């Protein structure tokens, strides 16, 4: 037979009770290598985790704020009024729509 | 003691068959034996828990990467022999089992694919050995390749097998002197979920039993020699 089995070797291995009785359960845990180092060494030989990873918790997203419908406003203004409005918006660091809203709020209040 | 794992990243190389044959043979001779079935296919777990085999072998399944080490440690303190049947992939579960075993059995069929994949297992063993040696320069992880599904005793050996034998001999990789032959009884064990002695109408049963005992005998001898060394 192949793989080193010499046909002329008639002394076949057998399992005896005596041989088995020499083996005992471990009395103390085996001193072992660091698992992290061991995993790194394994990865070098292509042995990597194949188990599915637990899914990451998904952060709940903020509900979208409803946006009010908007329209284009196009009008002619005296130059001084336009300059005044632009100066107001610039001073308060507001966009033109927000500047107009602020002016309206002030008028109402 | 000892913990024996069967590893070969190639699927279908005979890991579960070798594990079951060796474990049941040792148990039949009076040893306390358990098998940790770490193969996702759970073939041995199915054999034990969905059948009624007449054996004292206990089988524990469903282990994962995270608990394989603690399960091995726990069972090694309870049983004389702990076999770990591993999945046919190069995974972290396999490498961790190798790292925490006393002996690695690498079943191979007489095919170039099996031998190439066995070489991968050997690389992993050597890498793990280097890690062990950082804390203990004398530490080793002994291993042997075992030919499975080979010709029965007296049957002619194929040319491809002879070529592979020569290739393996060149690499200096250690081999079992005995081998597990291709036998009907070894297949029927899984199908019928029984032990070898319980089988009927399963080919040359006497030959299968003798073959199983030969390989188990050599395994015991190898481990006894390693312990003595």
The tens digit of pLDDT for each residue in B44-65 reads 999 999 999 999 999 999 999 9
B-chain CB neighbours of A24 within 8 Å are 1, 80
Secondary structure of residue B101 in the 3-state scheme? coil
Q: Is B116 left (phi over 0), alpha (psi -120 to 50) or beta?
A: alpha
Highest averaged pLDDT of the listed ranges B6-20, B31-45, B89-103: B31-45
pLDDT tens-digit map of B109-163: 888 787 888 888 888 888 888 887 887 888 889 999 999 988 877 778 888 778 8
* 8 Å CB contact of A41 and B127: yes
pTM above 0.90, yes or no: no
Residues B179 and B185 sit within 8 Å (Cβ to Cβ): no
Nearest by CB: B92 against A6, A33, A42: A42
DSSP 8-class letter at A29: P
pLDDT of residue A3: 47
* 8 Å CB contact of A5 and B69: no
pLDDT of residue A10: 59
Burial (CB count <10 Å: 0-12, 13-18, 19+), residue B149? buried
pLDDT tens-digit map of A20-44: 988 989 887 776 667 888 888 888 8
Secondary structure of residue B142 in the 3-state scheme? coil
To 10 degrees, what angle do helices B112-135 and B159-171 make?
Answer: 20
Q: Give the angle A38-A41-A44 at the CA atoms, nearest 5°.
A: 150
**Chain B, 92-151: which have a CB under 8 Å from a chain A CB?**
92-96, 98-100, 102, 110, 120, 123-124, 126-128, 130-132, 134-136, 147, 150-151
Interface contacts (A, B; CB < 8 Å): 174
Residues B33 and B83 sit within 8 Å (Cβ to Cβ): yes
Secondary structure of residue B48 in the 3-state scheme? helix
Handedness of CA B33, B34, B39, B43 (dihedral sign): positive
pLDDT of residue A8: 46
């Amino acid at each position: 037979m192949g793989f080193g089995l010499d046909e002329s070797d008639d002394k076949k291995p057998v399992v005896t009770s005596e041989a088995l009785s020499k083996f005992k359960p471990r009395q103390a845990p085996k001193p072992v290598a660091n698992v992290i180092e061991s995993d790194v060494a394994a990865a070098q030989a292509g042995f990597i985790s194949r188990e599915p990873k637990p899914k990451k918790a998904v952060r709940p997203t903020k509900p979208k704020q409803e946006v009010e419908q908007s329209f284009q406003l196009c009008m002619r203004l005296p130059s001084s009024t336009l300059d005044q409005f632009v100066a107001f918006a610039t001073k308060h660091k507001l966009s033109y729509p927000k500047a107009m809203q602020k002016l309206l709020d002030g008028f109402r209040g | 003691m000892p913990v024996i794992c069967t590893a070969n990243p190639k699927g279908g190389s005979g890991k579960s068959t070798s594990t079951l044959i060796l474990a049941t043979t040792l148990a039949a001779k009076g040893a306390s034996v358990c098998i940790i079935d770490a193969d996702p296919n759970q073939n041995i777990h199915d054999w034990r828990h969905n059948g009624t085999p007449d054996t004292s072998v206990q089988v524990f399944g469903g282990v994962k990467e995270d608990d394989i080490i603690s399960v091995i440690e726990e069972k090694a303190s309870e049983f004389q022999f702990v076999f770990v049947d591993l999945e046919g992939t190069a995974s972290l579960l396999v490498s961790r089992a190798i790292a925490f075993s006393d002996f690695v059995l690498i079943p191979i069929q007489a095919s170039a694919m099996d031998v190439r994949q066995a070489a991968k297992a050997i690389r992993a063993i050597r890498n793990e050995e280097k890690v062990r040696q950082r804390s203990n320069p004398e530490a080793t992880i002994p291993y042997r390749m075992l030919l499975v599904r080979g010709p029965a005793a007296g049957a002619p050996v194929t040319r491809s097998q002879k070529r592979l034998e020569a290739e393996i001999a060149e690499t200096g990789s250690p081999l079992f002197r005995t081998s597990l032959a291709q036998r009907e009884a070894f297949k029927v064990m899984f199908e019928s979920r029984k032990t070898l002695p319980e089988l009927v109408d399963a080919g040359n049963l006497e030959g299968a039993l003798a073959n199983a005992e030969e390989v188990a005998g050599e395994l015991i001898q190898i481990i006894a020699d390693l312990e003595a060394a």
